Amino acid sequence: MRITLSGPPGSGTTSLARYLAGKHGLDLISAGEVFRQLAKEHGMELAEFGKFAESDPSVDRMIDARQKEIGEAADDIIIEGRLSGRMIENADLRIWLSASLSCRAKRIAGRDEMDEEGARAYTENRQRSEATRYRNYYGIEIDDLSPYDIVLSSETFGVDALGTIVDAAIACLARQQAADL
């Protein structure tokens, strides 16, 4: 089973990806973790590295190409990243998580040890930067959710409830794939 999990910053994609990977024995690759690691390696804060990536398309292209290569070659994997649902052409299930900006800013503030106002500004700037890069590099409008099989609100549902919903979808797909054999 090849699952992609996407959503805006702070929507809970990493938490759900970890849940699903653990429950279903899937490998996990996270574009966000790769991006954070590269920022660290370049001695930059995440927002600063995002601005750097705007001027150097090779950063995003490298992360996206690597994620695509790994994701399309693996059989039992969850690929978590903003563009994974668009990049992994042979995905069995594409999921998008959503939540309001205020909800996501609270989560980011708690996770990254900043105040909510700072987290909101940081998140808005990050989203703007990513949307610009995705449009310029790939012609992708990130707000177009048409590639996704499931769109869920992580503001309405916690990780366990989201996991239960996705578990049901995985079970349905597994039965369908078995019947197709």
Q: Is 14 annotated as a binding residue?
A: yes
Is 25 annotated to bind ligand? Answer: no
State pTM to two decimals.
0.87
Domain ranges of the chain: 2-100+148-180
Length of the chain: 181
The answer to whether 10 is annotated as binding is yes
Question: If you average pLDDT over residues 116-136, what whole number do you get?
Answer: 91
Between the alpha carbon of residue 163 and those of residues 4, 49, 121, 155, the distances in Å are 14, 32, 30, 14
Q: What CATH number does the domain located at 2-100+148-180 have?
A: 3.40.50.300
Is 13 annotated as ligand-binding? yes
Query: What are the counts of helices (DSSP H) followed by strands (DSSP E) for the chain?
Result: 8, 5
Which of these, 169, 2, 17, lies nearest to 90 by C-alpha position?
2
The reported pLDDT for the residue numbered 45 is 87
pLDDT value at residue 64: 85
Residue 8 labelled as part of a binding site: yes
Mean pLDDT of the chain: 91
Q: What value does the mean pLDDT take over residues 49-60?
A: 84
Confidence band for 36, pLDDT divided at 50, 70 and 90:
confident
98 among annotated binding-site residues: no
81 is in an annotated binding site: no
